[in-house]
Amino acid sequence: MSPFFRQMVAVSGVVLYMIGTGANIAYPGVLLQQLRLPDSAMHLTPEHESWIASILGLALISGILVAPFSLQKLGRKLTNQLSTLPAMGGWALLVAAKGPAALLASRSLQGFAMGLQAAAAPVTIAEYSSPKYRGAFLATIAFSFASGMLVAHIFGTLLYWRTAAVACGSFYVVSLILISIPPETPPYLASKGKNNECRKSFRWFRGDDEDSEKELEVLLNSQKKKLTPKVAQFTFYRQMVTKPEFYKPTVIMMFMFVLFQISGMTVVPSYTVPMMEDVSGGTIEAYTSMLMVDVVRFITAVIACVVVNKLRRRTVLFLGIVISVVSLLTAALLLYLRDLGYIPEGYKWTPVVPTLFYIFGKTLGILPIPWAIAGEIFPLAYRSIGSGISGMFLSIMFFVVVKTAPTSFRQIGINGTFCVYGICIAICGIFLYFLLPETKGKTLYEIECHFRGEKEKDVCERDMMLELQKVEEG
């Protein structure tokens, strides 16, 4: 097998459980719709419905808290394997659920698994991938989200909700099999001083050509300098938080994940049907509008896999932000005009157009780039902890945004909610414009050097050249 194919096999296991994550987020959109039917075997209150959609965010916190320690102590591979187990248990419990309590428990298990995977996925993919393919592979996270949402809505449209849950849960079974095939990631093995295992793993992923061997030696030698005697945990954390290569990426990822959630990334899949009914003014059948949104999201996610690998990260992100903000504010304006009677009856559907452009914009830039950056931006020594801290913001914002969405829809309407989202996206975009560096085409070591400052960067580059010279001299 070629190195690219081996990297693709390794990444595919992560892709499949991220498809499951997309299904977890979107599943309430069809579950709650079926449970509202008069002949449903289970009836829920509006409060039950909002908790079923939003409890993933609270459960994510528990997974995020465990993830840094699991990634550091157990490694990337075992963490990924273990994360599939509560996810499968959650779907199994959902299939057997007889009341709201069981539904909430099943969603909590799914959320815990998602917390582990949210921290593990970008780190694992980045460490599996060569710089040449890293952007495309990290963009598959966005593709996975979109695919999972589409799959959950299709299954929920065609199948009874329990049968749909079985189909969605099956992705984790296949994921566990694929995750077990590749070895542990080379950077993790190097960080633990397991040089022989690191060499075998690196060559499994990258082959043994001259460029790969040089990169391998740079990785090993850069970690030898960091394998210093252990210090007290308090001292380690005190030193860590003062280092720019830790706190700068952490602040950037906080803004990234706030942007990710405040853009409605998880709200739209959970409440697609009622949202699109309001946006279309009842002119488009509910499930048809839901599938329209899913198809646009899926096609855009496929495009994003190519675009993220071809264009600069900043270009893609800010293009998505601009499209999203303009589309949300345009949709809100059209909804206001329709409510005031300025749009004729035959054109009540016009807000659907900017809404679909909004789905396009956020899926093109706001969905893939945070995950791509999350896999690249943290130095190896702090990658697990940094991913956990930034993931905490992801989970908290997930809960807050999804839990408050029904109230927001009732109190200020879809148009007011769109305005709030558009303004918040613009604010996050302004901060990121000044904070976010370009990472495309750089090795993980070069990105780490960037955050240490220009002087430190020169030292890093000099060290890299010396290591390469040693390799060339034999």
Q: Are 87 and 27 in contact (CB under 8 A)?
A: no
> What's residue 69's pLDDT?
87
Q: Could you tell me the pTM of the whole model?
A: 0.75
Between CA 31 and CA 40 the distance in angstroms is 11
Mean pLDDT across 43-68 = 84
How does DSSP classify residue 365? I
Helix, coil or strand: residue 184: coil
Task: Write down all domains in the chain, each with its CATH number in brackets.
Answer: 7-182+231-442 (1.20.1250.20)
Instruction: List, for residues 218-236, the tens digit of each pLDDT value.
Output: 778 766 655 545 556 667 6
Report the amino acid identity of residue 202. Answer: F
Between CA 69 and CA 314 the distance in angstroms is 31
Joined tokens for residue 14: 């992560």
> What's residue 231's pLDDT?
56
**Residue 317 CB-density burial (10 A; 0-12 exposed, 13-18 middle, 19+ buried):** buried
Mean pLDDT across 52-80 = 88
Report the amino acid identity of residue 87. Answer: A
> What's residue 84's pLDDT?
95
Between CA 54 and CA 49 the distance in angstroms is 9
How does DSSP classify residue 225? T
Name the more confident of 199 and 215: 199
Degrees (nearest 5) of the Cα angle 398, 392, 139?
A: 70
> What's residue 456's pLDDT?
44
Instruction: List, for residues 113-130, the tens digit of each pLDDT value.
Output: 998 998 888 889 988 988
Instruction: List, for residues 334-367, the tens digit of each pLDDT value.
Output: 999 998 888 888 888 899 999 999 999 999 999 8
> What's residue 454's pLDDT?
52
pLDDT at 455 over 60: no
Between CA 278 and CA 283 the distance in angstroms is 9
Confidence of residue 49 (pLDDT cuts 50, 70, 90): confident
Confidence of residue 182 (pLDDT cuts 50, 70, 90): very high
pLDDT at 241 over 50: yes
**Residue 64 CB-density burial (10 A; 0-12 exposed, 13-18 middle, 19+ buried):** buried
Least confident among 125-134, 321-330, 331-340, 378-387: 378-387
Which are the contacts of 175, defined by CB distance < 8 A and separation ≥ 6?
Answer: 13, 14, 16, 17, 20, 84
Instruction: List, for residues 402-438, the tens digit of each pLDDT value.
Output: 888 888 888 999 999 999 999 999 999 999 999 898 8
Between CA 398 and CA 365 the distance in angstroms is 18
